[in-house]
A and B are shown apart, each in its own frame.
Chain A
Amino acid sequence: MITIPADSHHPALSEAELVTPFHASYVDDNATIAFQSEMAAAVDNSVKAAFAVFGESGCDRRGDCLQMDKWVPTVTECFTFLGFDIDTRLMTLKWPRAKRAALHKEISGILARQGKDRWVSPQEMAHLVGVVRSASEVAPWGTFLSFNLQNALTKAAQNAKKPNRTWYSKHKIYLSNTAVQTLTQLTETLLDPDETLWTRPMALYFDRDCTHRIYSDASYIGIGGWSPCFSFCWRILRDDLSQYGFHMKTVDRSTSEPTGTAAGLHINPLEYLAAIVNLWLALTFLMDAGPIDGGYILQLNADNTSALAWFSEAARTPDPFLQGLARLGSAFLVCACRLLTKVVPTHIAGKKNVEADALSRPLAGNVVPPLDYVMQQWPHLQTCRVCLLPSRLLREIAAITSSQKTGVSFDMLATELLTLRPNILSRGVNTCILKSTLFDD
C-alpha cells in the first residue's frame, strides 16, 4: 500500500464522504470506485442509476444500456480506463504494455526500411505522434519524443507544394537522422523491463502542494540559483561558462547587454541552463534525503516562460543546441520520476525573483559583486550554504549539447551526472574570493 499525505488540494475525506462511492464518467465510459466494504452497494447503485437515466432493462428496442457482452463481472484493484492501466494498490498509472508492443512493432517495421524506402506517409507520422503524445500523460519521455516527430511532420507539410486529398496517405516523409534517432530511442524504451519509464505514481500525477522550491535566473553575465528549502545558493559567471565550452555572446562592458547581433547563446537558453543546473542540484539533495510518503513535489521557479515551456514541451525548436539541452532536461525529468519526484515548472514575476536575479546579475556599472556581498544584501540568502558545483557537470553539459548523440546517451549521462555531488561550504565561510561557485573534480 502507498501512503500519501493530505494537502490543500486533497484534504482528508469527511466520514460522510468516506461512505459515498465515487463515480466517474467520460462520455460512455464509467468507473465506480469504493472501499471494499461499500463496493457491492456502489455497483448496485451505479446500475440502478444507469437504468433510471437510460431506461430499464428490456424496455428499449435499441437494447439495454448495460449490455452483457460489454459488462465486466468482476471488481478489481487493477483496471484499464481511458487507455491507461490504473492500480489502486500501487497507486500508479501505466501506459499498457500491449499498446507499447503494438507501437514497437510498427516502428520496427519503419526502421527496417532501407535507403530510399526509409520514409513514412504523413498519416503514419501523425499516428505515431498521436500515440506517443497520448502516452506523454504518464511518460516523461513521451512529450519530448512526440514533439521531435512532430517537427518532421510539420516540415513535410510546409514543404508540400500542393497538399491534395491523397497527400495524407501517399506523400513521402523521408526520415531525418534526428527522426531515426528518436524512433530508435522509442523502440529501446518501449519494451524496457524497467516500466517506470511508462508509469507514473498517482501521487505525482495530480496537483499537490509543493514540498520544495528552487529559484534560478540568468543574465548575459552569469547564471545563478538558490533554494530556501534546501538552503543552498550558487552562481556561475560568463567567463567560466565560456571556459567550459558554452558559446557566450559578446557583451557591452557598460550595459552588460549583447553588442549588435553578436553570435552566441540567447538569454532563453541561458535561463534554461540555469534551471537545469538548479534541477540537478535539487535532485542530488533529494537522492541523499531518500524517499518520503507521496514523493517530492519540486517547484522549479524561473522568470522566463520559454525556459519553463521547454521543460514541458521540450524540443519544439529545431535549434540543435536546444535540442541537446532539451534532451538532457528530459533525461533529468526521467531521473526525477525514478526518485518519486514531480517537477513543476512555475513562472515567477521577475521583480519577485530578486535573490536569483542578484546572484546572476552585475551591479550598476557592470561590476560583478562578491558572493558574500550578495548574500548579505538579501535576508533569505543569509541562511543559505554556498554550493560549489563540480566543473565536470558544466563540461559534460557543454560537450553533450554540442554533439549529435541519441537520447539513450542522454539518459545514461543524466544518471551518471547524478552520481556527482556538490561541495557544500559551511555557513560563515569567507566567500570573498569566490567568483563562480565551482570546484575542479
Chain B
Amino acid sequence: MRISRPTEPILVHADDIGAAFRRILYHPDVAIAFAYASSDYLIIPVGQVFGGRSSPPFYGLLADLREVLAMVQPPVPSSLFMIWFKKRHFLQYHLVLH
C-alpha cells in the first residue's frame, strides 16, 4: 500500500474477538474428552477450552473466514451477509467448513 501510494495516510483499526475459542462448539462425541470434575459435578465443556492443542487451528478456520469476508464489500446489510457470501463463494465456503 505504501509502495503504491507513498503520500496517503494508511489507517489501522485493531480489534479482539472476546472468548474466541469458546465460540467454536465441540462435537458431543469429542466434548467428553475435555470433561473435568469439580466438587460433585462433572463439567462437560460445550465450547472449545483454552489450552487445548486443537483449539487454535479449529478457531483459525473461522478467523480466516472472517478475514476473507472483511476484505470483500457486499452491497447488503450484515443480516444478509452470510447468505450473500454463501451464494457468491459457495464452493470455497463448503470446502473450508468441511
Contact = CB atoms under 8 A, between A and B. Distances in A.
22 contacts: A6-B3, A6-B4, A12-B4, A23-B71, A24-B67, A27-B60, A28-B16, A28-B59, A30-B17, A30-B66, A35-B1, A35-B5, A45-B72, A45-B73, A49-B69, A49-B81, A52-B66, A54-B66, A65-B18, A70-B15, A75-B12, A77-B11
Contacts of A81: 12, 14
B2 interface: yes
Interface in A38-83: 39, 41-43, 45-56, 60, 62-67, 70-72, 74-77, 79-81
B45 interface: no
A35 B11 contact: yes
Contacts of A10: 3
Contacts of A27: 20, 56, 59-60, 63
B14 to A, nearest CB: 5
A27 to B, nearest CB: 6
A31 interface: yes
A101 interface: no
Residue in A2, A28, A66, A76 whose Cβ sees the most chain B Cβ within 10 Å: A28
Give chain B's interface secondary structure class.
mixed
A35 B9 contact: yes
A75 B14 CA distance: 8
Interface in B1-30: 1-20, 22-23
A86 interface: yes
A179 to B, nearest CB: 33
Nearest to A51: B78
A33 to B, nearest CB: 5
Interface range on chain B (Cβ under 8 Å from partner): 35 or more
Interface of B: 1-20, 22-23, 47, 56, 59-60, 62-67, 69-73, 77-79, 81-82, 85
Contacts of A402: none
Contact of B7 (A1, A49, A67, A70): A1
Given A18-B4, A21-B70, 5 more contacts: A18-B5, A30-B70, A37-B8, A62-B22, A74-B13
Given A10-B3, A28-B63, A66 B85 contact: no
B11 A72 contact: no
Contacts of B56: 27
A51 B82 CA distance: 9
B66 A53 contact: yes
Contacts of B72: 45
Nearest to B21: A28
Contact of B18 (A18, A43, A64, A91): A64
Contacts of A60: 23
Interface residues of A, number: 66
Given A4-B3, A12-B3, A29 B16 contact: yes
Contacts of A52: 66, 69, 78, 81-82, 85
B66 A50 contact: yes
Contacts of A255: none
Contact of A46 (B2, B9, B13, B16): B13
B71 A20 contact: yes
A88 B9 contact: yes
Interface in A249-270: none
A29 B14 contact: yes
A12 to B, nearest CB: 5
A36 interface: yes
B3 A79 contact: no
A378 interface: no
